[in-house]
């Protein structure tokens, strides 16, 4: 009898718990615009690291060793195989002139958001073999910084909430009225360059403007529009491929090819884009696409020890 | 014979013979392992260091503080190689100063040591964390004061033994060829390691400028005479007024690349000329070099090795009192 009472109490407790969890979600009306992000997000593109033990922390002068670089796609753009990976920081002539450059990156699938879960992106290892310190070290040990330097093509896709009304210059009031000017919510796909803020600035009854802030949030830097023949003038540049609200394309001061180059100063740039929007009262998402080549490095201390 | 595995062995059940066999096997394994470990001695600590070449001192009471005129006595000079360059048989020239007054024979006035039978006076070196001292030798002189008696016993007479020997100092530092500072900083202060010797590398500096893919590096190094004697850029036999207070840059490599020809050109020297570094009145000498390189493969740093060679001249003095022999 006592046991039956206990079981009933447990069942009742569970039912009450479920009931309360149902209550907490109530009272909020579904927003017209889906506010949850379609992206897994994140501030990395390609994660670069040395495979543990390759190389070891210490190598002996005159003995062969290899370097293995681990690449993992931690962002949401597929890496198509363009790019470059090289080992720098050491004088190739002192390490027996091995081949320290590979002119492509393996294809690596991106992170994928499935439901509320993020499925990790693909990984690969790139090996560099045949290194051997051939310098004059006959006594003691000396430290070098060995660098894995990776350049790759990447993209960022961002969505910003946008408010359109019959007259953008007049702010409507009401419980469901959206704001025609001011800061907007923005979500970014996983990558090292983000649209960090979007400010809606109307400039006419039907003329909509945005002030976009683009920011380098990864640990590397943009290198222009190619991984070959790096041109200092193109360093820190990002391409704005398009800014669109439905079928409406925004003008950000694009060049002949329709894309706009921006140069990041201290990791940031501000761009103004504008367009005439169709009449109406609605909220929607403005889509911003960025394209860039990104350079990422990993460093490791390498000690070369003389063989006595 | 019954097979035993350590996994299966139960020490309580091993018979005495089996126990002895197991211990012998373990002992043999330990010897084998220690042997393997000894095959690869890694010189983790680098140069042994030190600021001298040869250390010289008279052995206790040889010579004594007081001698009788015309009575033979012995002089024993102890020499130890306190630096890292080995001295081969005959390389050290010893000159007995005031030899005539001390009755030193012609054969002993100028000596070349160590004797061939003794082998070389090895330089000191490191093995792991242990420092192995340099080679030692003792050389003897048969002496007898035959000169003019000083006015009193309290007025000492003196002699000296001058040593001259070839020596070398190795210096190792780093050069940074970089447009940025991710790999290394071209302008960062630099350490230079110096081998044990009476001339020491004391400073190494780099200045780099970048133009496109080309980097121009200027570096300079300082040397200091720390041994208390005099360095010569000539050999011992030829030393005199020429080459005094100088050393010669014998080798200069950046990684595996010989930079000496380029440095000689920068210093307006021909390929066959020596590159001397002269010490100033404070005993400090300075060498400078400039070169340019394209860094298309990326920034890097590498070791720079500098060797200077010289003859080193130093002296040890001794005062003794002479007592007249009462007839």
- The rounded distance, in Å, linking the Cα atoms of B205 and A164 is 64
Residue A89 with chain B: CB contacts under 8 Å: 183-184, 298-301
Alpha-carbon span B168 to B307, nearest angstrom:
7
- Per-residue model confidence as pLDDT tens digits over B230-245: 999 998 887 777 889 9
Which of A139, A147, A221 would you mutate first to test chain B, the one with the most B CBs within 10 A? A139
Structure tokens at A44: 């990395």
Asked if the Cβ–Cβ distance from A141 to B44 is below 8 Å, we say yes
* Whole-number pLDDT of residue B26: 54
Q: Which residues pair with B301 in a beta bridge?
A: A90, B176
B182 near A CB under 8 A = yes
Question: DSSP code of B20?
Answer: H
Q: Which of A270, A51, A91 is nearest to B301 (CA)?
A: A91
Going through B233-283 in order, the beta strands assigned E by DSSP cover 246-254, 257-258, 276-278
Residues on chain B touching A297 (C-beta within 8 angstroms): 182
Q: Which residues contact B150 (CB under 8 A, 6 or more apart)?
A: B156, B157, B322
A137 touches chain B (CB under 8 A): yes
CA-wise closest residue to A279 among A169, A164, A171, A163: A164
Please report the pLDDT score of residue A136 as a whole number: 81
Asked whether this complex has an ipTM greater than 0.85, the answer is no
Residue A237, pLDDT score: 92
CA B34 to chain centre: 31
**Alpha carbons B194 and B173: distance in angstroms, whole number:** 9
Whole-angstrom Cα distance, residue B204 to residue B225? 16
What pLDDT does B25 receive? 55
Q: pLDDT-derived band of residue B4, with 50, 70 and 90 as boundaries?
A: very low
pLDDT score, position A93 = 92
Q: What is the pLDDT of residue A235?
A: 85
Range with the largest mean pLDDT of A10-14, A80-84, B49-53, B270-274: B49-53
Burial level of B178, CB count in 10 A (0-12/13-18/19+)?
Answer: buried
Mind listing the pLDDT tens digit of every residue in chain A (308 residues)? 445 655 555 555 544 444 444 443 333 332 233 347 899 999 999 999 999 999 999 999 999 999 999 999 999 999 998 899 999 999 999 999 899 999 889 999 999 999 889 999 999 999 999 999 998 887 888 999 999 999 999 999 999 999 998 888 887 777 777 888 999 999 999 999 999 999 999 988 899 999 999 999 999 999 988 888 677 777 899 999 999 999 999 999 876 666 789 999 999 999 999 999 988 888 999 999 999 999 999 999 999 998 76
Residues of B whose CB is below 8 A from A233: none
Token duo for residue A245 = 């609200």
H or E element, residue A7: helix A2-24
pLDDT in tens, B283-301: 999 999 999 998 888 899 9
The sign one gets for the Cα dihedral A99, A105, A108, A110 is positive
- Rounded Cα distance between B255 and B113, Å, is 36
Query: Is the dihedral angle over the CA atoms A253, A258, A264, A265 positive or is it negative?
Result: negative
Instruction: Answer yes or no: are the C-beta atoms of B143 and B97 closer than 8 Å.
Output: no
**Chains A & B: contacts with CB separation below 8 Å:** 91
| H-run or E-run covering B36 | helix B16-39
| pLDDT, tens digit, 9 for 90 and up, residues B98-151 | 999 999 999 999 999 999 999 999 999 988 778 899 999 999 999 999 988 887
Which two three-digit tokens encode residue A242? 């398009």
When scoring B253, B298, B301 by the number of chain A Cβ atoms within 10 A, the one with the most, hence best to mutate, is B298
């Amino acid at each position: 009898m006592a046991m039956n009472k206990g079981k009933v109490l447990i069942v009742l407790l569970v039912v009450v718990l479920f009931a309360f969890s149902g209550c907490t979600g109530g009272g909020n009306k579904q927003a017209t615009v889906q506010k949850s992000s379609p992206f897994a997000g994140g501030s990395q593109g390609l994660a670069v690291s040395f495979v543990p033990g390759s190389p070891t922390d210490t190598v002996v002068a005159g003995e062969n060793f290899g370097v293995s670089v681990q690449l993992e796609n931690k962002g949401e753009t597929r890496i198509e195989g363009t790019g470059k990976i090289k080992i720098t920081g050491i004088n190739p002539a002192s390490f027996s002139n091995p081949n320290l450059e590979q002119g492509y990156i393996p294809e690596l699938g991106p992170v994928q958001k499935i439901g509320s879960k993020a499925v990790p992106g693909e990984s690969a290892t790139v090996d560099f073999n045949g290194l051997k310190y051939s310098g004059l070290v006959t006594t003691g040990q000396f430290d070098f910084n060995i660098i894995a330097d990776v350049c790759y093509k990447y993209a960022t896709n961002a969505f910003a909430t946008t408010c359109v009304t019959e007259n953008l210059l007049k702010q409507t009031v009401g419980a469901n009225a959206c704001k025609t000017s001011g800061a907007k919510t923005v979500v970014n796909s996983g990558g090292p360059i983000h649209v960090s803020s979007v400010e809606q600035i109307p400039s006419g009854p039907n003329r909509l403007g945005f002030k976009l802030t683009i920011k380098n949030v990864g640990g590397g830097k943009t290198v222009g529009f190619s991984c070959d023949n790096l041109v200092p003038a193109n360093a820190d540049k990002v391409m704005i491929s398009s800014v669109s609200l439905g079928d409406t394309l925004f003008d950000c001061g694009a060049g002949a090819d329709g894309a706009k180059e921006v140069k990041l100063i201290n990791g940031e740039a501000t761009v103004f884009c504008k367009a005439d929007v169709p009449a109406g009262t609605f909220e929607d998402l403005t889509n911003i696409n960025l394209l860039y080549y990104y350079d990422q490095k990993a460093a490791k201390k390498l000690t070369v020890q003389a063989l006595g | 014979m019954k097979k035993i595995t350590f996994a299966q062995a139960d020490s309580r059940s091993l018979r005495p013979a089996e126990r002895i066999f197991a211990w012998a096997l373990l002992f043999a394994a330990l010897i084998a392992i220690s042997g393997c470990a000894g095959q690869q001695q890694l010189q983790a600590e680098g140069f042994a260091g030190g600021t001298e070449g040869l250390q010289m001192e008279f052995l206790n009471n040889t010579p004594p503080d007081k001698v009788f005129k015309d009575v033979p006595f012995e002089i024993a000079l102890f020499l130890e190689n306190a630096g890292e360059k080995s001295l081969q048989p005959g390389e050290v020239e010893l000159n007995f100063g005031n030899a005539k007054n001390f009755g030193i024979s012609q054969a002993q006035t100028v000596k070349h040591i160590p004797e061939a039978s003794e082998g070389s006076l090895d330089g000191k070196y490191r093995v792991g964390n242990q420092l192995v001292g340099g080679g030692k030798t003792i050389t003897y002189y048969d002496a007898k004061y035959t000169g003019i008696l000083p006015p009193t016993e309290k007025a000492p007479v003196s002699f000296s033994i001058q040593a001259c020997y070839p020596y070398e100092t190795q210096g190792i530092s780093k050069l940074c060829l970089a447009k940025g500072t991710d790999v290394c900083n071209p302008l960062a202060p630099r350490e230079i390691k110096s081998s044990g010797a009476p001339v020491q590398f004391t400073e190494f500096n780099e200045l780099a400028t970048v133009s496109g893919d080309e980097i121009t590096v200027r570096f300079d190094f300082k040397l200091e005479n720390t041994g208390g004697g005099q360095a010569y850029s000539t050999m011992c036999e030829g030393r005199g007024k020429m080459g005094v207070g100088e050393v010669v840059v014998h080798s200069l490599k950046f990684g595996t690349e010989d930079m000496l020809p380029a440095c000689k050109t920068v210093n307006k020297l021909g390929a066959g000329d020596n590159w001397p570094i002269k010490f100033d009145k404070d005993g400090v000498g300075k060498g400078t070099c400039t070169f340019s390189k394209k860094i298309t493969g990326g920034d890097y740093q590498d070791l720079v090795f500098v060797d200077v060679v010289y003859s080193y001249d130093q002296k040890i003095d001794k005062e003794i009192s002479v007592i007249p022999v009462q007839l």
